[in-house]
Amino acid sequence: MVKPFTKVLVGTDFSDGSGRAVERAADLAQRYGARLHIVHVWELPHVATSLMFDPGFEWHTPVEQAARKQLDALLETLRANHVEAESTLLSGLVWDQIVGAISPLCADLVVVGTHGRTGLRRALLGSVAERVVRFSSVPVLTVH
């Protein structure tokens, strides 16, 4: 017999695609009586590393605060819909941080959205979902 999921980790970048992933993860968590853990990984915008801007400006503070605000709003919405959820805000390479969060959070399922990029756009931008699938130690559900 297959053991039901107990902790579902879902990555979000607050896009429509990741919103669908959060909805699916919340549904699975409720169906299996599992805890839902939402992870958002923020990165500094590319302009923050440009030499045209003041290198002394602390870009991370407003970026992190905006990410926290969106994550808190998402949690509030889920809880208003009777979904038990927790969240973690991380910074760095998105796929690496999501994969790195699996063990400490005791996740036994990861859910991520896909953007469906192909060709040159995928080669240039990479695929977070593909790397999560490749390096995850637990099953990964991708939602398009």
Give pLDDT tens digits for 66-104. Answer: 999 999 999 999 999 999 999 999 999 999 999 999 999
- Secondary structure in 3-state letters for 3-25: CCCCEEEEECCCCHHHHHHHHHH
pLDDT of residue 61: 82
Position 124 scores a pLDDT of 42
pLDDT < 50: residue spans in the chain: 48, 122-125
What is the residue type of 126? G
Domain ranges of the chain: 1-7+28-105
Q: Quick one: pLDDT at residue 122? A: 47
Query: Residue 76 CA to chain centroid, in angstroms?
Result: 17
